[in-house]
Amino acid sequence: MTRMTGKRALMEMLKAEGVEYVFGNPGTSESAIMDELESHPELRYKLVLQEGVAMGMADGYARVTGKPSFINLHIETGLANGISLLHNAKEGGTPLVLSAGNLDIREFARGRTDLAEMVRLFTKFTAEATHPEQVPTLLRRAFNEAKTPPTGPAFVAFSANALDDEGEMDIYPSPQGYFRTPPDARAVEDAAEILAAAGNPVMVVGDRVAQSDASAEAVRVAELIGAPVYSASYSEMNFPSSHPQYLGGVRLGFPEAADTVGRADAVLAVGRMMSAYYMFSEPAARFFREDAKLIHLDADASGVGSHLPTDVGMIADPKAALSELADALDGMMPGSAREAAKGRAAVAAERKAAQREAAERRLKARWNTKPMSAERLMSEVAAAVPKDTIIINDAVTSGGALLDSFDFDEPGSIYGGRGGALGWGMGGALGVKLANPDRPVVAVDGDGSAMMTIQGMWTAANEGLPVVYVVCNNSTYRVLKLNMNLYKTHVMKEEKPTSRYMGMDFPIRPDIAEIARGMGANARRIEDPGDVGPAMKEALELGKPTLLDVVIDGSV
């Protein structure tokens, strides 16, 4: 054991855990941390001007690297600003360790805040070090919790005396971790029997597939049973989007799902199953046919069997489980079942072709609209970017047009926001770029989301991170209007819903390009769709952070 201050123990533990960057915005309660950082140049501090940017950067970086990232915010005030995107990290299972400084433990009379309690709802583990010897032990626990499936954020606060006082410290990292947890053999057998006998199976994938690097195994299972594949979420490449059996996203619990997953007699669900807008959806039991057999596979036991009638609940690493399931299916399916699977796959391919034709018709019909359509914008962007470009999808209601315009077939080719809080994309793109310095990164953001964390443009300029941002400026919270229509239709049962959409329009269209220039970034506003492609190519060649503020149609 070595005697040292708590603040030095913090730095030594971060280095032991392989941390490269500290994302943050400091305050006086972090003075001890900032002072000690000066003696540890291996730990590079990434300054943000708004805490949501730090949360987004850490989230994006952790998702690319697969390692917990580290954020340091300022006491309860800065911490509160980061909680909205901490919610997203919790919902998406991002492995990260959040921290903040606090008053001395003896300062209860001054209204000392329980920081650990502030974030309890949005973390896997939360604690405060009130003595220096607790610093390394709590950090080890936090990193271990963050990276152990189901992954997610952890939090550690540091009281002032814990940082400045000395103690006897053991510095060593959290365990390596071996997380390819195999499935129960009986569960694999039962699931394979159901799928092999099904006449109309469907597969629904969530983000846990990408997190487990299981897309290839998911493809093998889908092809064996000939199932159409839908995504409950697609914030990463869970299934190759150009695959003939992949038919796009599905909003579970909504009437339109009746023609997709609603017709299945067997459903293989991988990852978290939830409706897109759960407060308006039908009861959970109506996600699927009443007589449908549900096989639900997830590393997170809390969601399996909790709100859906489940025939086989499989708690395991998705990659390991899908591999074993594929082997079992391959060994038990007779020739007749394989022929039936080929027929189903052919039908799915026909539906896929019809979807693509419909997307082409929408693009053609909206090619010359003024303001330009989201379809035209995404088509122009897709035609201009190099093949190895990583797309950040924070486009909200323009995201459907984005997914129609790009094929995402390689792991790590797309990252999107997870959870319900706006503002992820500005910082998220910077974190992804830090982890991929040699690949182009293009972030497509909705204007409402971009304005939540527009301070990220300063960090992009200050750090020289050449991300190209395309802001879909429709001067409205269009998603709220669409949700209002859903509310009127599904909850109020109005046949022809109307609304004044109060609080959902921006009468003064924000000049986001001007704001970005004020932050030190290159920027321009675009209204002519013919300017999008040349502007994209110029921005990519420039090698500097650039924002394209594109005026698009926001009608519903």
Question: Rounded mean pLDDT of the chain?
Answer: 94
Centre a 10 Å sphere on the Cβ of residue 208 and count the other Cβ atoms it contains: 27
- pLDDT tens-digit profile of 186-204? 999 999 999 999 999 999 9
pLDDT for the residue numbered 286: 64
Residue in 427, 374, 368, 364 with CA at minimum distance from that of residue 396: 374
- Classify residue 184 by burial, with Cβ atoms within 10 Å: 0-12, 13-18, 19+: middle
What sign does the dihedral 133-139-142-148 (CA atoms) show? negative
Is pLDDT above 70 for 283?
Answer: no
Q: List pLDDT tens digits, range 212-240.
A: 999 999 999 999 999 999 999 999 999 99
How many residues comprise the chain? 556
For residue 282, is pLDDT > 60? no
Written as one letter, the residue type at 423 is G
* Architecture of the domain delimited by 185-353: 3-Layer(aba) Sandwich (3.40)
- Work out the pLDDT band at 489, boundaries 50, 70, 90: confident
- Name the token pair of 305: 């069997």
Contacts of 390 (CB under 8 A, 6+ apart): 412, 413, 414, 415, 432, 436, 439, 440, 441, 442
Continuous segment of H or E residues that includes residue 462: helix 456-463
Query: Which two structure tokens, joined as six digits, stand for 187?
Result: 């569960």
Check pLDDT > 70 for residue 208. Answer: yes
Question: CA 236, CA 250: separation in Å to the nearest integer?
Answer: 15
The pLDDT value recorded for residue 256 is: 76
Locate the domains of the chain by residue range: 2-169, 185-353, 366-475+510-551
Nearest CA to 94 among 54, 64, 119, 136? Answer: 64
Q: What is the pLDDT of residue 49?
A: 97
Residue 412 has pLDDT above 90, yes or no: yes
Superfamily of domain 366-475+510-551: Thiamin diphosphate (ThDP)-binding fold, Pyr/PP domains (3.40.50.970)
Structure tokens at 446: 């909705």
With cut-offs at 50, 70 and 90, classify the pLDDT of residue 281: low
* Predicted TM-score (pTM) of this structure: 0.95
Q: Is the pLDDT of residue 109 over 70?
A: no
pLDDT band at 273 (very low <50, low <70, confident <90, very high): confident
The model's pLDDT over 58-85, given as tens digits with 9 standing for 90+, comes to: 999 999 999 999 999 999 999 999 999 9
325-348 per-position pLDDT tens digit = 999 999 999 999 999 999 999 999
CA 40/CA 296 separation, integer angstroms: 46
By CB atoms closer than 10 A (0-12, 13-18, 19+), residue 68 is: buried
| Position with higher pLDDT, 282 vs 475 | 475
The pLDDT of 53-57, averaged and rounded, is: 98
Q: Are 461 and 538 in contact (CB under 8 A)?
A: no
* Pair of tokens at residue 253: 């619990």
Q: Which helix (H) or strand (E) covers residue 416, if one does?
A: strand 414-416
In this chain, the answer to whether the domains covering 2-169 and 366-475+510-551 adopt an identical fold is yes
> Does the domain made of 2-169 have the CATH classification 3.60.15.10?
no
What pLDDT, on a 0 to 100 scale, did the predictor assign at position 187?
Answer: 98
Query: What per-residue confidence (pLDDT) applies to 253?
Result: 73
**pLDDT score, position 284:** 45
